[in-house]
Structure 1
């Protein structure tokens, strides 16, 4: 038991590093960039708030578990705007991070956490699909709430963002409609190319 507890504490101390990872998007206030740990908490709160948008029978507790572990890999891999040019590299870095981080935990807990991470990445279960939709929507809400231009990304168009976000949000029509209205407003305000 002491070894189990020591390994769990070692994992938690390593996970604490997530508080130091700075993401690409702004806080809603526009005063600074969001940290990944802040993102994880806020996307979980968003998920609980929007739980009624999940299909009937979706286990929201399981969705929360997926969202709790999904960005831990950013401790090693960082936060990236993923496109065709870096997709393979980012995914390889994230996979290596998952291997290292979840191996810190005793078994079977390490395997359980890794299984959650893999489920989120595969995006096949009802819970993973809702978790991915929440993760896709969250930065859009923050970025467009700030009302400032985001200098981190190269100029991007509303059409490009629609294409990037559509697969994860379209299965949830009200959320997808809302996301599209955010894009339209951002383009109209000059924060995105049309």
Structure 2
């Protein structure tokens, strides 16, 4: 086996660990919490399904590439709520994870994947903005569109979630309107505090 293939397989085996990273939100059926690998697959499928909400000229295949690598850092850093109190610490942990995980690849691929991750994090390109919107919407769809009463959101109110999600979803008015409707319905149903 060539060194390139050996490194690529080592990376793929490391990425398989995403199947063991348990996220904070439940599956839409409520039977258990989802894994990061499940989230990555489902948010990519969601993106392909909701692609008509992306701005004109947005390269959906590039959005999919961003989403395929964006959570690889959770192998080391885990899934977490990002708050003003922990934002800096999480950023340091995720950057260290990115360096370690992507360094498993051959140098050119490592640079490509790391750049995809950095692009997603910077949220400046049309593709990164849509990828971030998809990532922000996904747990809301699992929890609130399913009608699930998920204790993950107990410490947060609808107002907290609006503040957390608005920057990433508001550039896509149809998606932002839908997200706000989900939160309003969750409040009306007593599943979320106002």
Q: TM-score, normalised by structure 1?
A: 0.97
Aligned equivalents of 1:153, 1:93: Cα separation in 2: 24
Match of 1:121 in 2: 121
State the 4+ residue runs in structure 1 displaced beyond 3 angstroms: none
In the TM superposition, what are the counterparts of 1:137-176 in structure 2 within 5 Å?
Answer: 137-176=137-176
Deviation at 1:70, TM superposition (A): 0.1
Deviation at 1:149, TM superposition (A): 2.9
Match of 2:188 in 1: 188
Ranges in structure 1 where 5+ consecutive residues have no aligned partner: none
Deviation at 1:191, TM superposition (A): 1.1
SS in 2 for 1:17: helix
| 1:145-170 alpha-carbon deviations (Å, 9 max, x no partner) | 34333223442111110010000000
Does residue 49 in structure 1 map to residue 49 in structure 2? yes
Equivalenced residue count is 194
SS in 1 for 2:14: helix
Contact map agreement 2:8 2:104 (CA 8 A) in 1: yes
Ranges in structure 2 where 5+ consecutive residues have no aligned partner: none
Contact map agreement 2:26 2:34 (CA 8 A) in 1: yes
Does residue 66 in structure 1 map to residue 69 in structure 2? no
Contact map agreement 2:29 2:148 (CA 8 A) in 1: no
SS in 1 for 2:176: helix
Match of 1:6 in 2: 6
Aligned equivalents of 1:177, 1:98: Cα separation in 2: 33
- Measured on the aligned residues, the alpha-carbon RMSD in Å equals 1.0
Q: TM-score, normalised by structure 2?
A: 0.97
